[in-house]
């Protein structure tokens, strides 16, 4: 009887421990009605109401936000942390290296790949364990392999975040278990994801539905926890997440035709909510926005302006007035525009026309702005391509002499 009581206490402790440290939702109920959720949301035209505390639809082509709900609010992000973990490992390791698992890695709780102390496994297979079944043990093993320890690895994560221009994100761990100093925003998580997806190796990992890894040479089959992968049209990644502090989280990459989007939902109450919210937002975006070739519109407007204004430039004391202007490089060619505002695209050009020599080449002399429905989406500098030198005294003398000769010729012509 005594042993039986000890056993019950042990089971209670283990179950309680797992309840508080889950970093993903592989043990949550499986959503079997994804198809029905897709069907219900497929014709959404109005901006949807969602359960998630924070969300964003981010256009990868232009970096613009098509939808946002508290997208700049700092929040815990659970295992979506592993997007950054993976890209740090990919950029700083040899994927074929073999890692020996430490006791710390093997003892990490929550969702697991199932590693034990002294197991041997490749970096590549650890990454599959990290991104498909969201193994916290794999996350610690990779952090120790690349950074020496978790703390040093977190420094690498934070340095990368800063290099991407993100200042509302801070990492403490490679797995995302709850910590008040571990947070991001929906917007910054979208930026991190966009950066990671530009790496083909990462993109291939998160787009994998099933994979077999080898631990000590023994095979183990893994399935991706992302319920939208393979079920929703165009989805090609990326990561799920769950802790008690973060609630349910999902980052989704989806591409249809020439529109490539990232959907982030953070803080959903249930797995069904996060799935439904993601589908609603994705379908809303594809039903209401279309990619417009903004490059063609800008260049046509700019060339027409040049044609009408090229003779209007005056460079006081300059050798000439022949200023040739050009636009700064466009950051993108296409821009997602709400179908209701396709005819509300405006381009405004301001360019200075009067100067005093000398005028250096590639000097900014104006700007072009693009707005959609009275909202500015883009500003580009206008530069002069050629240098205009200041006239010397000899130039002034020659000009005066030529003007004098022309004046005399005109007088003679009048007398004749």
Under 8 Å CB-to-CB from 318, ≥6 apart: which residues? Answer: 355, 356, 357, 358, 359, 388, 389, 390, 391
CB 252 within 8 A of CB 83: no
Determine contact, residues 265/52, Cβ cutoff 8 Å.
Answer: yes
Residue 25 makes CB contacts below 8 A (sequence gap 6+) with 111, 225, 240, 241, 242, 248, 271
Catalytic residue among 76, 82, 160, 239: 82
Q: Report how far residue 132's alpha carbon sits from residue 136's, in angstroms, rounded to the nearest whole number.
A: 11
Which parts of 133-270 fold into alpha helices (H)?
136-147, 150-163, 186-197, 200-206
In angstroms, the CA 372 to CA 350 distance is: 18
Q: Are 177 and 137 in contact (CB under 8 A)?
A: no
List the one residue out of 256, 200, 228 whose CA is nearest residue 61.
256
Active site residue 320: no
Contacts of 172 (CB under 8 A, 6+ apart): 154, 179, 181, 182
| Catalytic pick among 79, 102, 105, 278 | 79
Omega prior to 238 cis, within 30 of 0: yes
Per-position DSSP letters for 296-312, written without gaps between them: HHHHHHHHHHHHHHGGG
- Residue of 52, 134, 161, 278 marked catalytic: 134
Whether the CB-CB separation of 291 and 283 falls below 8 Å is answered with no
Specify whether the CB–CB gap between 347 and 303 falls below 8 A.
Answer: no
DSSP string, 217-238: TEEEEEE---TTTTTSTTEEEE
- Note if the bond before 358 is cis, omega within 30 degrees: yes
Taking a C-beta distance cutoff of 8 angstroms, is the pair 190, 264 a contact? yes
- Mark whether 79 is an active-site residue: yes
82 catalytic, yes or no? Answer: yes
Which residues neighbour 188 within 8 Å (Cβ) at sequence distance 6 or greater? 161, 166, 168, 169
Q: How distant, in Å, are the alpha carbons of 162, 164, 213, 265 from that of 242? A: 25, 25, 24, 12
**What residues are labeled active site?**
79, 82, 134
């Amino acid at each position: 009887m005594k042993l039986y009581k000890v056993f019950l206490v042990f089971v209670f402790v283990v179950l309680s421990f797992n309840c508080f440290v889950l970093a993903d939702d592989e043990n949550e109920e499986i959503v079997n009605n994804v198809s029905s959720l897709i069907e219900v949301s497929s014709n959404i035209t109005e901006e949807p109401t969602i359960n998630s505390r924070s969300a964003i639809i981010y256009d990868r082509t232009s970096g613009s936000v098509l939808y946002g709900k508290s997208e700049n609010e700092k929040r815990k992000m659970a295992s979506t942390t592993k997007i950054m973990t993976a890209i740090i490992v990919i950029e700083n390791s040899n994927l074929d290296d073999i890692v020996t698992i430490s006791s710390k890695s093997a003892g990490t709780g929550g969702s697991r790949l199932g590693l034990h102390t002294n197991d041997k496994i490749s970096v590549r297979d650890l990454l599959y364990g990290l991104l498909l079944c969201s193994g916290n043990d794999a996350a610690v093993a990779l952090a120790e392999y690349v950074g020496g320890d978790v703390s040093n690895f977190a420094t690498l994560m934070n340095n990368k975040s800063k290099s991407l221009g993100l200042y509302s994100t801070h990492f403490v761990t490679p797995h995302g278990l709850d910590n008040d100093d571990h947070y991001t925003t929906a917007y910054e998580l979208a930026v991190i994801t966009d950066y990671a997806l530009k790496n083909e190796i990462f993109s291939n990992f998160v787009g994998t539905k099933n994979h077999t890894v080898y631990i000590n040479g023994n095979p183990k089959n893994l399935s991706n926890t992302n319920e939208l992968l393979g079920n929703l049209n165009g989805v090609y990644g990326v990561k799920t997440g769950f802790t008690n502090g973060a609630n349910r989280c999902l980052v989704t990459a989806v591409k249809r035709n020439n529109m490539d989007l990232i959907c982030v939902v953070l803080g959903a109450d249930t797995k069904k909510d996060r799935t439904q919210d993601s589908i609603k937002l994705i379908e809303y975006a594809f039903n209401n926005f279309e990619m417009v070739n903004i490059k063609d519109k800008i260049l046509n407007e700019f060339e027409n302006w040049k044609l009408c204004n090229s003779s209007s430039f005056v460079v006081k004391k300059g050798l000439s007035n022949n200023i040739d202007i050009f636009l700064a490089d466009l950051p993108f060619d296409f821009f997602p525009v709400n179908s209701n505002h396709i005819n509300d695209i405006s381009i405004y050009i301001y360019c200075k026309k009067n100067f005093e020599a000398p005028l250096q080449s590639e000097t900014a002399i104006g700007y072009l702005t693009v707005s959609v429905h009275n909202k500015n989406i883009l500003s580009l500098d206008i530069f002069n391509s050629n240098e205009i030198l200041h006239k010397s005294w000899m130039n002034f003398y020659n000009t005066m002499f030529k003007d004098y000769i022309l004046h005399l010729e005109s007088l003679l012509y009048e007398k004749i």
